[in-house]
């Protein structure tokens, strides 16, 4: 039996959730900064186990005789997540520039080395599973630099309640806060109309002016207007007067625009019907500008 197999035996534990699923396993790594800090870590351990996470910490085996490096290796080896509790002492003891030969804090120094090795060996797997945790009263300043305290996610436990620890609980229990909706078919988005040229703008102005003429109010009058205009030209413009006004006017202007002198004939008819009125002058000016443009 290998040492590794023996080490795993130190952390063998069989648990199931109420639905029969196996809880996610997490190990808590922390520094013994003070009695108060140690008690907050103990509360975190209890809290997680009472809320569906198979969390392990050295509290579980503190009274028994341990070979601590092997105990921590086994705990880390068996865990899906590693929780590093931020504190000034953890940051100091895990730092790359920690002076050699210091007896105090060897446990954190050793654990941080193991965790660095995991992240170096397979960063894609371990980066989202090594979670810096800030307990009440702490700050991100206690997170060691190799965990990127100011450019990566830090999990804050505001208090030992579901609401106070929700982000951490969600990642440990695989319960995301947002479920993306199914991607639906895209809406139909017709192409935007190209910017109108100056001539197109003048045609639109002409149509808008014609729309205000009383003669455009009913189909019979529109048909008579077409007849009067085509008589000026001596050739027919087959535009039915009973077309809806929004179809009739563009069709009429378009047909006359294609005929030599067609728009001038239209202006003459308007003048005959509305001499010296503002709409007649507006239409006349527009037609003259169109004629100049060719």
Residue 138 has a pLDDT of 94
Q: What is the pTM of this model?
A: 0.60
Task: Say which residues have a Cβ less than 8 Å from residue 97's Cβ, sequence separation at least 6.
Answer: none
pLDDT category at 16 given cuts 50, 70, 90 is: low
pLDDT for residue 195 is more than 90: no
pLDDT above 90: percentage of residues in the chain: 57
pLDDT of residue 177: 93
pLDDT of 287 higher than 50: yes
The tokens for 2 are 């290998």
Query: Quick one: pLDDT at residue 8?
Result: 34
220-278 pLDDT per residue, tens: 998 899 889 888 888 777 788 788 999 999 999 998 888 889 899 999 999 999 888 99
Q: 85 near 123, Cβ under 8 Å?
A: no
| Arithmetic mean of pLDDT, 78-98 | 90
User: Distances in Å between the alpha carbon of 121 and those of 84, 92, 126?
Assistant: 19, 24, 9
Partners of 81 in the β-ladder: 26
Gap between the Cα atoms of 77 and 93, Å rounded:
22
Residue closest to 21 by CA, chosen among 174, 126, 131: 174
User: By the 8 A CB rule, do 26 and 10 touch?
Assistant: no
- Tens of pLDDT, residue by residue over 198-225, are 888 999 999 999 999 998 988 999 889 9
pLDDT at 13: 47
Contact 25, 83 (CB under 8 A): no
Q: What is the pLDDT of residue 212?
A: 93
> For residues 50 and 8, which has the higher predicted lDDT (pLDDT)?
50
What is the separation of C-alpha 141 from the centre of its chain, rounded to a whole number of angstroms? Answer: 29
pLDDT above 60 for 101: no
Give the pLDDT mean for 7-21: 46
List Cβ neighbours of 129 (8 Å cut-off, separation of 6 or more): 80, 81, 82
Q: What pLDDT score was predicted for residue 81? A: 97
């Amino acid at each position: 039996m290998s040492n590794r197999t023996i080490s795993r035996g130190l952390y063998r534990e069989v648990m199931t959730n109420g639905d029969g699923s196996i809880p996610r396993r997490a190990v808590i790594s922390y520094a013994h900064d003070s009695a108060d800090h140690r008690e907050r870590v103990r509360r975190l351990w209890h809290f997680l186990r009472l809320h569906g996470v198979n969390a392990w910490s050295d509290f579980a085996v503190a009274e028994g005789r341990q070979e601590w490096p092997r105990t921590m290796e086994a705990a880390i080896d068996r865990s899906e997540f590693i929780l590093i509790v931020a504190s000034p002492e953890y940051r100091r003891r895990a730092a790359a520039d920690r002076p050699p030969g210091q007896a105090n804090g060897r446990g954190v120094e050793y654990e941080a080395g193991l965790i660095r090795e995991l992240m170096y060996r397979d960063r894609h797997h371990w980066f989202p599973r090594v979670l810096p945790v800030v307990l009440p009263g702490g700050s991100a300043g206690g997170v060691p630099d190799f965990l990127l305290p100011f450019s990566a996610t830090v999990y804050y436990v505001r208090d030992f309640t579901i609401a106070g620890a929700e982000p951490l609980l969600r990642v440990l229990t695989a319960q995301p806060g947002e479920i993306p909706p199914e991607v639906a078919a895209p809406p139909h988005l017709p192409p935007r109309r190209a910017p109108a040229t100056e001539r197109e703008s003048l045609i639109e102005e002409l149509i808008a002016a014609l729309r205000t003429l009383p003669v455009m109010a009913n189909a019979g009058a529109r048909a008579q207007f077409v007849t009067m205009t085509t008589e000026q030209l001596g050739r027919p413009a087959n535009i039915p007067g009973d077309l809806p006004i929004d179809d009739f006017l563009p069709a009429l202007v378009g047909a006359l625009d294609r005929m030599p002198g067609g728009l001038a004939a239209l202006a003459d008819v308007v003048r005959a019907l509305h001499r010296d009125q503002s709409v007649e002058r507006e239409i006349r000016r527009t037609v003259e500008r169109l004629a100049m443009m060719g």
